Amino acid sequence: MRTKSVGKKKINIVTLGCSKNVYDSEVLMSQLKANGKEVVHEEKGDIVVINTCGFIDNAKEESINTILDFVEAKNRGEVEKVFVTGCLSERYKPDLIKEIPDVDQYFGTRDLPILLKHLGADYKHELVGERLITTPKHYAYLKISEGCDRPCSFCAIPLMRGGHVSTPIEKLVKEAQKLAKVGVKELILIAQDLTYYGLDIYKKRALGELLKELVKVEGIEWIRLHYAFPSGFPEDVLDIIREEPKVCNYIDIPLQHINSDLLKSMKRGTTHEKTNALLDKFREKVPDMAIRTTLIVGYPGETEERFQELKEWVREQKFDRLGCFTYSHEENTGAYVLEDDIPQEVKEARVEEIMELQSQISWDKNQKRIGEVYKCVFDRKEGNYFVGRTEYDSPDVDNTVLVSAENTYISIGDFANVKITSAEEFDLYGELV
C-alpha cells in the first residue's frame, strides 16, 4: 500500500559507472540544493534519480538491476518516484521505456535542465562550476571536457556523450578555486580524452596551459591526470609534470592493446612501435612517473599469438598500475560488424592471465619501496588502519598505504610522510616519520 509523504520530499541521487558520472551527479545535487531541495547521495529518499552507465555489458547489467530494484521499491510504496538519467538512458531510452515502463521518466546525458524541471527545480546558470562533493572532502574530480571525437571501434561513448567540447581554462580555474575554498587539496582531471583538450576552442592542444593555471590555485597540493589518449599526446605536459611539484608524477593512459593489426582495427591511430616510443619518452622525460594503463582482451581477431604478444609486452613494460577488461560487443560501434569470435570463457581466462602477471610485477615494484619515505594523503580509516595514497596512486583504483591506528592518529585529508616497512602486491605498510 502506497503511503503519502508528508512535508519536504528528499531526493536521493544514485551514481553508477565512472568518475564522469560522479561529477555529473555532483552538479545535479548542487542545482537541487540551490533550489531549496533536500538532496542526498545514495541514502534513503522519497524520489530517486539513478545516474546510469551504459559503457559495457557488466555496467549495463548493473544499471538495469539498480533500476529494477528501485522500481520494486516504488511498487512497495517505499519511494514515490524513480527517474533515470545518464549514459544507459541516453543510449537505450526507447528500449527502456518499453521494457521498464514503471520508471516515471527517462533522461539523456544532456537533459539536466529538463530533469530539474521534473524535480520541481530551475536550472541556475550562475551555478556553473558549483558542485556538492560526494567524494571525501579533500579530493575532487575536475571534468575538463565532455564527449569524444575519437573513432575507436570498440567504444560507444560518442553515442552517449556526443562530440568533444572543452571547458574554457578560466572556467576551470574558477571551479578549482571554489573547490579549494571548501577544503579540496587534490584535483583529479578527467575527460573522455585529456589529450584532445583545447583543440576545439583554442585550435591547439592546451592541456599544458591549463595545468600552468591550475597550479597557481592556492590550497591545491596535488593535480592528477586521468584518461589521456596516446595518439597526439602533447609532450609539453611531460615537462610540466617533471618540473611542477603540484602535478603528480602519474598518468592514466589507456593503451588497450599492443598488436599493430588489432590497434588498426580498433582505430587507435598508433602502432606497437609508436606506443613503445611514447612510453620511452614518458620515462625519459619523467623517470619517476607512475604509468597506469587499461587493456582490452578478446577483441575480434585476437588470436592466441596476438594475445601472447600482449602478455610479453606487459612483462617487458612493467606498468606501475594496470587494469584489464574483456571486450564487449557493442551495437552501433565500428567493431560491431566484426565477428565476436573469442569465447567468453577465453576472454575471462586471458584477463586472469594478464592480472596474475601484473600482480607479480606490482609485488616486485612494491618490495623496492621498503625503506623509502613517501608523502601520502589519507582518505579514510578502515579497521585498525589509516588508509592513504602516494602521488603515484589514484583513489579506488590503485595501491594504498596502510598505517596502524593503534598508536597513531591521522586526520582524514591530511598529508604525512610515511616510511614503508613492508609490502604486498597492492598494499604498502608503513609508519609516520
How far is residue 400 from each of residues 294, 396, 423, measured CA to CA in Å?
A: 19, 9, 10
CA 217, chain centre distance (Å)? 23
Residue 18, annotated as binding a ligand:
yes
Helix/strand/coil (H/E/C) assignment for every residue in 227-264: CCCCCCCCCHHHHHHHHCCCEEEEEECCCECCCHHHHH
* 3-class DSSP assignment, residue 173: helix
How far is residue 147 from each of residues 162, 166, 193, measured CA to CA in Å?
A: 5, 9, 8
Residue 376, annotated as binding a ligand:
no
CA 358, chain centre distance (Å)? 20
Residue 248, annotated as binding a ligand:
no
| b (16+ CB within 10 A) / e for 176-213 | bbebbeeebbbbbbbbbbbbbbbbeeeeebbbbbbbee
Residue 324, annotated as binding a ligand:
no
Say how far apart CA 397 and CA 416 lie, in whole Å: 21
List, as residue ranges, the binding site for [4Fe-4S] cluster: 18, 53, 87, 148, 152, 155
